Structure 1
Amino acid sequence: MAGWDEGLREVVVTASAAASDSTRWRDVLVVLARRFGATAAALHTPGASSPERSLFAEVGLSNDSLATYAAHWASHDPWFASADARHITERTGLCFVGRELCDWAELDRLPFYNEFAEPAGVRGLTSLVLDDGVRPGASPLAILSLYRAPGLDEFSFADRDTLRSVHAPLQLALHAHWAFDRTRRDRLMAVDALAATPKPLYVLAADARVLHANPQGAALLSRHGWIETRGDRAVRLGGSGPQAFFAAVRCAAAGEVQVLPVWMPACAEAPACIAVARLVPLGEDNACRLAWPHARVLLMIDVADADRQQRHLSAIAERYRLTPAEARLLALLADGASPAEISAQLEVSLHTVRAHLRHLFDKTGARRQSDLVRLFLAGTEVARPWQ
């Protein structure tokens, strides 16, 4: 930027902001018009293949001038026709003034000037080909034009050369604009696809940050005991410990599918239940990676219905030869209840609860209540009902 005046520096700074905020392109035009003494300015993408690939911004033109131009006058524009015939629009970075393409005498005779340009306050012109549109995915053909009203001096060749000097930063901002736009559209598509899935889904970074949750997943985030977060990072899933959860996320981010049986404790919003958490790696070409560049893992939660939960508990009871009372005690322990709370809930003495607890220790080989909870989560073939 050495040798540039303050006006040109302001152009570059404003263009940088427009890269991520399309509403700021009009600000770019305001700064350019002020720097070059233009009474109007426009940025447009003639011949864009779709509305998503169109960019229109203007300042100083009469109402709907760009829309009217695009709908009717673009095909009659002598400046653009001459530039196109000379293949100027096929060469990124070329800049020209109006009289290089169409002399005054010819312009005065054309309906384009008399019926559109002059009423719109346009006579003097200098245009810059920001991008020729030939690189797939980079940018469509984009033209930046500055105008002066009838009665004012034409733009000079010095103006043309100065405008050309800011082509590189303007083109960089334009390419960034389309990159951000693609990311935004990819994200909207990914969000819609995830929202259409009836199961809770979470897009996770490699460090377990929650980048997105579909509506069903967002509902679980608000339920106590289901998914614990600290800031934007998931740290615990149901009754599983944080170490096990983080290890599963790391393995999934490294490319290994992880399946975790999870006991979801009861809360005010829902009873206790069994769930299976699947952590699936996201490949580089996955839509979630395009929408959220830091995405590495898709976490899916499959909540078992009452019949599946009963089959799970029955499988554990059959393996360890548990009585119905012992199996019930095991389920309540996994739900986070203490022996005293179980005593009150089942309306039996604390002595009876402790007796059942001793039997559980003897039959399963567990030494602590936490071991019983882990046994309940692991079970025997716990994941089979969901396979």
Structure 2
Amino acid sequence: MERLAGIEPIVSLLYDGVLNPGDWYDGLDAINQMLGGIGFHYFALHAQNFAVLDSVSLAEFPAGKVQEYEVHYAQDDPRAARVFALPVGELMVDSDHFDAQAVSSWPIFADWLMPQGIRDTLSVKLRTDDAQREFLAFFRSPGQRLFNVHDKAVFAHLLPHLHRASGLRARMGQLEQQAALGLGALDKLSQGIFIVDETGRIQHLNRAAQACMAAVAAPCRAEHERLVFAASEANTQFRHLLTAACRQRSPASAGAFRLSRDAGPWWGVSVLPLKASHPLASFRQIHLAMVVLADPQGSVCPSAPLLGELLDLTPTEARLALALAAGKTIHDFASTESCSWHTVRTHLKNLLRKTGCHRQLDLVRLIQALAF
């Protein structure tokens, strides 16, 4: 089929759209053009009550008409109910399911679609989970022929890519939200925090780190976007610890060293591993390290809520982390919380998994670095 020759550029746009919303919608528009449609409507519905959570339309609707659909028609749209009842990977065309009598009697057709110049719709369920359902529809006007078997065959070649790209977009969105939460929490800490990759390239630094590098006798600097310590011996120690923290083929490990200052007390420098799935690593899926530069006389221990926000911990996990860093045992914590030590061990396992630490000692080092 001639139209299949134009699929590859569309597929590229859909996958580029995983990180770039503009490319995603350009890809949907390209599908619309390939199908000879007059526009498309993408929206996400609440899984239980079908309330509209997100909506993007590329069609010549009069002002307020999309909102009118969302408020008055979306929850009772028989097309949405029909397409969401289909297995993933199957599409629906209105003209295959609703005859002329239904078109004239259903409010969605008679009162909204037809007055907007829409006669036929090709619809697909992009993704569904416990929270929401994504719906995508392409339109044809009464002056055009109905979607036929050839149109469905062309669209079927794109469906696997649409589903896969939609799922990736959802995953990237979740990771970006988690990362934004974690990075926002870093700015609340008084310690200088650097997130770096295995080469020392700075991925993020908090306000305290920025202030530290701007100081007159700054202990470190950014050189070609990489973190470098002013003292050569300190920089050698840093590079050694960074390699251990970003190690991929064997367990990563944390480490620390002291950095002397000409005036005032020494700095404490901790280099801690962040596994690729950690929220602070975002969607890049690379091994990163958290470098903590702290003044032991000027910092305070973070609160349990702040620690939970920073490391994506539950309140109980955050309290356990702080207790362990303070020298308490699992049995001490179980007694304080009035629960079994088996329950506490489960919390500890979750702590190790979420922080990317392999041992309790590594976890304690991580929390103590944040508590200097």
Same fold (TM > 0.5): yes
Higher-Rg structure is 1
Whole-angstrom CA distance in 2 between matches of 1:23 and 1:65: 23
**Distance change (3 Å), C-alpha of 1:304 and 1:121:** same
Aligned AA for 1:296? L
Structure-1 residue corresponding to 2:206: 214
Structure-2 residue corresponding to 1:32: 31
Structure-2 residue corresponding to 1:169: 161
Q: Cα RMSD (Å) of the superposition?
A: 3.1
**Distance change (3 Å), C-alpha of 1:176 and 1:237:** farther
Unaligned runs of 5+ in 1: 266-270, 307-385
5 Å-filtered alignment, 1:1-387, equals 5-47=4-46, 54-62=53-61, 63-84=63-84, 87-88=85-86, 91-131=87-127, 133-134=128-129, 140-223=132-215, 225-236=218-229, 240-253=233-246, 255-265=252-262, 273-283=265-275, 286-290=278-282, 293-305=285-297
Q: Is the contact made by 2:175 and 2:279 (CA closer than 8 Å) also made in structure 1?
A: no
**Distance change (3 Å), C-alpha of 1:219 and 1:293:** farther
Deviation at 1:213, TM superposition (A): 0.6
**Distance change (3 Å), C-alpha of 1:41 and 1:33:** same
Deviation at 1:237, TM superposition (A): 5.2
Deviation at 1:188, TM superposition (A): 0.6
Deviates more, 1:253-262 or 1:150-159: 253-262
Deviation at 1:155, TM superposition (A): 1.2
**Distance change (3 Å), C-alpha of 1:240 and 1:46:** same
Whole-angstrom CA distance in 2 between matches of 1:42 and 1:213: 40
Whole-angstrom CA distance in 2 between matches of 1:197 and 1:49: 40
1:212-256 Cα deviation digits (max 9, x unpaired): 111111222233542133212223255744222211223344543
1:161-208 Cα deviation digits (max 9, x unpaired): 221221012222212211221221122111111111121111122332
Structure-2 residue corresponding to 1:383: none
Q: Is the contact made by 1:123 and 1:148 (CA closer than 8 Å) also made in structure 2?
A: yes
Deviation at 1:103, TM superposition (A): 0.9
Structure-2 residue corresponding to 1:377: none
Q: Is the contact made by 2:49 and 2:75 (CA closer than 8 Å) also made in structure 1?
A: no
Aligned to 1:20, what secondary structure does the other structure show? coil
**Distance change (3 Å), C-alpha of 1:285 and 1:39:** closer
Deviation at 1:285, TM superposition (A): 5.6
Aligned AA for 2:11? V
Q: Is the contact made by 1:18 and 1:177 (CA closer than 8 Å) also made in structure 2?
A: yes
Unaligned runs of 5+ in 2: 299-370
Q: Is the contact made by 2:43 and 2:135 (CA closer than 8 Å) also made in structure 1?
A: yes
**Distance change (3 Å), C-alpha of 1:3 and 1:37:** closer
**Distance change (3 Å), C-alpha of 1:233 and 1:29:** same
1:5-32 Cα deviation digits (max 9, x unpaired): 3433332232122221123333223212
**Distance change (3 Å), C-alpha of 1:221 and 1:294:** farther
Q: Is the contact made by 2:13 and 2:27 (CA closer than 8 Å) also made in structure 1?
A: yes
Aligned AA for 2:80? F
Q: Is the contact made by 2:3 and 2:34 (CA closer than 8 Å) also made in structure 1?
A: no
Q: Is the contact made by 2:276 and 2:287 (CA closer than 8 Å) also made in structure 1?
A: no
Whole-angstrom CA distance in 1 between matches of 2:187 and 2:264: 25
Deviation at 1:59, TM superposition (A): 0.7
Aligned to 2:45, what secondary structure does the other structure show? coil
**Distance change (3 Å), C-alpha of 1:20 and 1:252:** closer
Aligned to 2:46, what secondary structure does the other structure show? coil
Which TM-score applies when normalising by structure 1? 0.67
Q: Is the contact made by 1:273 and 1:303 (CA closer than 8 Å) also made in structure 2?
A: yes
Aligned AA for 1:127? S
Q: Is the contact made by 2:83 and 2:125 (CA closer than 8 Å) also made in structure 1?
A: no
Which TM-score applies when normalising by structure 2? 0.69
**Distance change (3 Å), C-alpha of 1:10 and 1:49:** farther
